[in-house]
């Protein structure tokens, strides 16, 4: 046995000596990395998260395996806890909404400032410019490494009661919202009756009529078939847009080799771009096919003109000003400048 032990010890010594020349990855990577999302496929959100996983698997020759866990299931359905779970390393990765992370990262409320962004170009000018970079720095300082922007989309308001063309039409409507108190304040300023709940709770609340309406991108309206839960009145008002962030928890990020970090970043950018395209498909002036399909379901689609928008903008101006200070004036000004110069 002594000889055996000596032989074993020698073997261990050789293995240890050889270790630094082996790729660290081979020893330390997890068998699976969990990507948290609120919406899975067929929502563009989940599709783009899956694209990220697929690209990484392919280009790492199967060394890095990522799996999408939709429905915010890694945080028991409570989507506003996702960021905290990532910081703690409980969630490895996420394709997350700025709305859901805004309770922990106040600056991410930027995108929820009512009527800051008139169009997709404005959104891109913010995410692709100085404000977007600042936001990524802020998120990174909180131990979540942001890699790329994706998209949930412009959030349009729907309800089961009536067409909405003026703020007065929203009066008294019970509207489901999520995220930070900014959403409550915006809908309160418009005379509505907002109530905060997760997406998981929103769907039964809509179908039982416990709430009258909600706000979500068109792709969500379609994939969740909100017309079947009484949401027959849809208003395109473009009041806020919801970008997504492809991110990795810092404790997890630090375990990847520099080469694999580069791979994760590049593939996130590609998947994010794909997600943006999916989120915008069929809802633009050039291609309104999705909107046409919604109308064909018997839904009234009300399009606000810039003139119509002014009344909503005026009603929510005090909320904008209050939250501009909370988010940080220099950051909001950088965003306003990007929008102005787009
Ligand atoms: O809950 C929502 O409304 C959703 C799915 O859009 C988000 O996660 C922000």
pLDDT band at 227 (very low <50, low <70, confident <90, very high): very high
Helix or strand holding residue 241 (H, E)? strand 233-249
Single pTM value for the model: 0.92
Q: What is the pLDDT of residues 230-270, one digit of tens each?
A: 999 999 999 999 999 999 999 999 999 999 999 999 999 99
38 CA from centroid of ligand 1 (Å): 7
Copy the structure tokens of residue 81.
Answer: 């806890």
Judge if the beta carbon of residue 36 lies within 6 A of ligand 1: no
Which residue among 70, 80, 99 is best mutated to probe the pocket of ligand 1, counting the most ligand atoms within 8 A of its Cβ?
A: 99
Domains of the chain: 30-340 (3.40.190.170)
Backbone angles phi, psi at 33, to 5 degrees: -105, 130
Considering Cα of 134, then 137, then 138, then 144, what sign does the dihedral take?
positive
Does residue 298 have a pLDDT over 60? yes
Mutate to test the pocket of ligand 1, among 40, 75, 152 (most ligand atoms within 8 A of CB): 152
CA 29 vs CA 53, 64, 113: distances in Å = 15, 8, 40
Say what the pLDDT of residue 9 is: 53
Report how far ligand 1's centroid is from the alpha carbon of 197 (Å): 10
Measured from the CB, is residue 199 less than 6 Å from ligand 1?
yes
Per-residue pLDDT tens digits for 325-334:
999 999 999 9
For ligand 1, whether the C-beta of 183 sits within 6 Å is no
**Averaged confidence pLDDT in the chain:** 94
Atom of ligand 1 nearest to the CA of 99: 9
Is 214 near ligand 1, meaning CB less than 6 Å away?
A: no
> Is pLDDT at 71 greater than 80 in this prediction?
yes
Q: Which residue has a Cα nearest atom 8 of ligand 1?
A: 38
Q: Is the CB of 37 under 6 A from ligand 1?
A: no
Q: Give me ligand 1 centre to Cα 126, in Å.
A: 21
Contacts of 263 (CB under 8 A, 6+ apart): 56, 59, 60, 64
CA of 187 to the centre of ligand 1 (A): 16
pLDDT value of position 171? 98
CB atoms within 10 A of CB 196: 15
- Residue 10 pLDDT: 52
- Ligand 1 mutation pick, 45, 100, 215, max ligand atoms within 8 A of CB: 100
Asked if residue 47 has its Cβ within 6 Å of ligand 1, the reply is no
**Tokens in use for 100?**
């859901």
CB atoms near residue 259 (< 10 Å): 11
pLDDT at position 2 over 60? no
- What confidence tier does 28 reach under pLDDT thresholds 50, 70, 90? confident
Q: What pLDDT digit, counting tens, does each position of 74-104 carry? A: 999 999 999 999 998 899 999 999 999 999 9
Q: How far is the CA of 284 from the centre of ligand 1 (A)?
A: 21
Does the CB atom of residue 95 touch ligand 1 within 6 A? no
Give the least confident one: 18-32, 255-269, 286-300: 18-32
178 phi/psi in degrees, rounded to 5: -140, 170
Q: How far is CA 306 from CA 217, 285, 320, in A?
A: 19, 15, 18
Determine whether the shortest distance from the Cβ of 79 to ligand 1 is under 6 A: yes
Q: Each residue of 136-151: pLDDT tens digit?
A: 999 999 999 999 999 9
Mean pLDDT of 154-174: 98
Can you spell out the DSSP letters for 251-317? HHHTTS-HHHHHHHHHHHHHHHHHHHHHHHTT-SSS--HHHHHHHTTT-EEEEPPHHHHHHHHHHHH
């Amino acid at each position: 046995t002594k000889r055996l032990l000596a032989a074993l010890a020698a073997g261990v010594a050789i293995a240890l000596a050889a270790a630094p020349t082996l790729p660290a990855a081979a020893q330390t990577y997890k068998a699976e990395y969990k990507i948290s999302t609120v919406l899975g496929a067929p929502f563009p959100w989940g599709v783009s998260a899956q694209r990220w996983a697929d690209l990484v698997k392919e280009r790492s020759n199967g060394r890095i395996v990522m799996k999408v866990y939709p429905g915010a299931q890694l945080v028991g359905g409570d989507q506003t806890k996702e960021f905290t779970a990532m910081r703690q390393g409980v969630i490895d990765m996420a394709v997350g909404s700025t709305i859901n992370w805004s309770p922990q990262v106040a600056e991410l409320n930027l995108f929820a400032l009512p009527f800051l962004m008139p169009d997709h170009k404005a959104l891109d000018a913010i995410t692709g410019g100085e404000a977007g970079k600042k936001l990524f720095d802020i998120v990174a300082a909180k131990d979540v490494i942001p890699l790329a922007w994706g998209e949930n989309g412009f959030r349009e308001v729907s309800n089961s009661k009536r067409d909405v063309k003026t703020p007065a039409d929203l009066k008294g409507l019970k509207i489901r919202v999520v995220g930070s108190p900014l959403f409550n304040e915006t809908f309160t300023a418009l005379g509505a009756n907002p109530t905060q709940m997760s997406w998981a709770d929103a769907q039964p609340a809509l179908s039982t009529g416990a709430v009258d309406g909600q706000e979500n991108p068109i792709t969500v309206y379609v994939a969740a078939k909100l017309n079947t839960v009484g949401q027959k009145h849809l208003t395109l008002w473009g009041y806020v847009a919801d970008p997504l962030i492809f991110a990795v928890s810092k404790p997890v990020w630090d375990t990847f080799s520099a080469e694999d970090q580069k791979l994760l970043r590049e593939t996130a950018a590609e998947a994010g771009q794909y997600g943006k395209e999916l989120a915008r498909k069929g809802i633009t002036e050039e291609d309104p096919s999705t909107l046409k399909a919604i109308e064909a379901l018997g839904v009234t689609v009300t399009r606000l003109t810039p003139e119509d928008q002014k009344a909503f903008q005026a009603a929510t101006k005090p909320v904008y000003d209050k939250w501009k200070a909370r988010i940080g004036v220099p950051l909001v000004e950088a965003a306003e400048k990007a929008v102005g110069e787009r």
